[in-house]
Amino acid sequence: MQKRNWLFIVFLFGALLTASACSDDGSDNNAQAPSGDTDNPPGPNGNDTGNPPGPNGNGTDTDNPPGPNGSDTGIPPGPIDTGSDGPVDETDPDAPCEDILPPAGAMPCDDIAPDSTYTCEEQASWGKCDEPWMMGLCNKSCGRCDAQSGSCAALAEAGHCTQPWMQGYCQRTCERCPGDVSRDCPAPVMPGASQATKDVLCYLYDIYGTKVLSGQQDCHWSQSPGDIGHIHNVTGKYPAIVGGDMLYDNVVTQAVAQWNAGGLSMIRYHMGLPDEADSYESSLKTTDLADTLTPGTARYNGLMQKFDHAAARLQTLKDAGVVVLWAPFHEVQPEGWFWWSKGTPEQLRALWHLMFDNFSARGLDNIIWLFAYSHNPHEDWLPDEGTFDLAGPDTYADNPPFVSMFGKTRWIVGPSRPIPLHETGLIVDPAEMFDGNQAPWVLFSVWCAEWLLDNTDASLQRAYAHPSTINRDGVPAFGR
């Protein structure tokens, strides 16, 4: 369904009109067992594979499944023990650097099932206690209440080094000893990334799981930032991230102003058809993607011109020292509403890789690549590993903080990669996000105009005032 039909109208008449928001299933539905089959519950999509489901009904998921309220509590979860065998004080330069496991007492001695379809007693009777996706779950039925479970290597492999309850534990394995370069801070995928770009990406990894960057799309492409002004009037704060679009006439000046004010920018591109002028209306049409991807055709040449247009603006931002979260070909989904998402997964990935190679050759070292799903992600649409830094969904559902969607995304993109909620109609409440770390989005970005106004003043104030929220005044300088 189309959700921002007003964009084209605004370009013609300069007024914002009401549009219909697309919906997200936002559900936590799990696979159902075949009728009468009690021996081997289903794997993915309800198929009887002999393996009961891990997170999201997937029997082959090796990631750590959710605990209470869908939270990934890991191996093991819980508060930090402050006893004599407790965590190392990371602020003490003379503290020993060693591997200390979180204590057994930190693990809840209860039964948390991986889904609502099967009980812990059933999982144990089927011999599933030793499955990777059962770590930290069904502890009582699996007889793990009195034992210290897991190892530092397993915790690190599962991506838990950045979790709050892991601070001070497994120091050596998590590479937090003096002089270590954390493996949780990978280099940007863009070749020759600038130091500021590296620092921004590393910062996102550093805060992931404990903090969230506030974000707001600004649909006022004139010099009157109405959406950002509304946020400031209501909360007294400015968002850490301001969203723009290559369709906006002032996208460059907006991003420079946000950078100079201490914030970050996320830029999308509602790219028109390759053989048409850019417009939101054109982005909704259908084109021959095979022809578009064939060098020498008119559509291919038109696509290259659009790459030139976007690259020129990104080059201007590079010259100004501005780091950009770059989210092209966004809101990807099967049979999507934008032309780039109306073909096959292979065609979408080819478009992404074509742009990545094109921009890499231009030396645009100031961009962090964000692959932006729409709603629940699909693994087969994900580009090659070395062509994106971040990946996350959007939603216009009414059940924030969207725990199920976070879990599904995490299962696809991995346990350690920061996950952005790159677009949402309703603002998320950080208190709910970080309750058991059930949906610790690294950033959120509320859509503009009437979607922003659908949020109550109280919900905006609550989100921007929460101690886990980083607003513009809390963003590091990054060499500015």
This model's pTM is above 0.85: no
Supply 207's token pair. 């805060």
CA atoms within 13 A on the CB side of 283: 25
Residues 346 and 100: their CA atoms lie apart, in Å, by: 45
Contact 207, 442 (CB under 8 A): yes
Tell me which residue of 383, 461, 403 sits closest to 427, measured CA to CA. Answer: 461
Looking at residues 46-55, what average pLDDT do you find?
37
**Domain layout of the chain by residue ranges:** 37-183, 195-474
In the prediction, which pLDDT does 213 show?
98
146-175 tens-digit pLDDT:
434 567 777 776 666 655 556 667 777 776
Supply 373's token pair. 């799903």
Q: Mean pLDDT of all residues in the chain?
A: 77
Looking at residues 346-364, what average pLDDT do you find?
98
pLDDT category of residue 317 using cuts at 50, 70 and 90: very high
Q: Return the minimum-mean-pLDDT range out of 23-27, 186-190, 222-226, 301-305.
A: 23-27
Supply 92's token pair. 């003490």
408-439 tens-digit pLDDT:
898 889 888 999 999 999 999 999 998 877 89
In the prediction, which pLDDT does 170 show?
77
Residues 447 and 434: their CA atoms lie apart, in Å, by: 22
Q: Identify the residue with better confidence: 316 or 55.
A: 316
Q: Identify the residue with better confidence: 66 or 360.
A: 360
Is the pLDDT at 178 greater than 80? The verdict is no
Give the H/E segment covering residue 3: none
CA atoms within 13 A on the CB side of 390: 30
Give the H/E segment covering residue 231: helix 226-235
Question: How far apart, in Å, are the Cα atoms of 414 and each of 57, 150, 156, 291, 411?
Answer: 17, 19, 13, 34, 6
Residues 146 and 107: their CA atoms lie apart, in Å, by: 9
What phi and psi values does residue 412 have, to the nearest 5 degrees? Answer: -85, -45
Q: Identify the residue with better confidence: 104 or 389.
A: 389
In percent, the amount of the chain with pLDDT more than 90 equals: 49
In the prediction, which pLDDT does 136 show?
54
Contact 445, 188 (CB under 8 A): no
Is the pLDDT at 27 greater than 60? The verdict is no
Strand, coil or helix: what is 325?
Answer: strand
Beta bridge partners of 265: 242, 324
Looking at residues 274-303, what average pLDDT do you find?
96
Length of the chain: 480
133-146 tens-digit pLDDT:
665 567 678 876 54
Tell me which residue of 29, 28, 3 sits closest to 17, measured CA to CA. Answer: 3
Tell me which residue of 173, 167, 202 sits closest to 188, measured CA to CA. Answer: 202
Is the pLDDT at 82 greater than 90? The verdict is no
In the prediction, which pLDDT does 20 show?
37
DSSP conformation class of 309: H
Tell me which residue of 162, 205, 159 sits closest to 389, measured CA to CA. Answer: 205
pLDDT category of residue 319 using cuts at 50, 70 and 90: very high
Q: Return the minimum-mean-pLDDT range out of 17-21, 79-83, 293-297, 428-432.
A: 79-83
In percent, the amount of the chain with pLDDT more than 70 equals: 68
CA atoms within 13 A on the CB side of 355: 29
Neighbour count for residue 458 (Cβ, 10 Å):
9
The helix, strand and coil proportions of the chain, stated in percent and rounded to the nearest 5, come to 35, 10, 55
In the prediction, which pLDDT does 42 show?
35
Looking at residues 327-356, what average pLDDT do you find?
94
Which string of DSSP letters, residue by residue, matches 403-425?
Answer: HHHHHHHHHHH-SSS--EEEEES
In the prediction, which pLDDT does 93 show?
43
Supply 78's token pair. 């819980």
Supply 236's token pair. 């007294």
In the prediction, which pLDDT does 183 show?
42
Four-point Cα dihedral 376, 379, 382, 384, nearest 10? 160
Looking at residues 266-280, what average pLDDT do you find?
95
Contact 373, 391 (CB under 8 A): yes
For 93, residues 6+ apart whose C-beta sits below 8 A from its C-beta are 178
Kindly report the CATH number that applies to the domain delimited by 195-474.
3.20.20.80
In the prediction, which pLDDT does 176 show?
62
For 303, residues 6+ apart whose C-beta sits below 8 A from its C-beta are 274, 292, 354
* Angle ∠(279,423,270) on CA atoms, nearest 5: 15
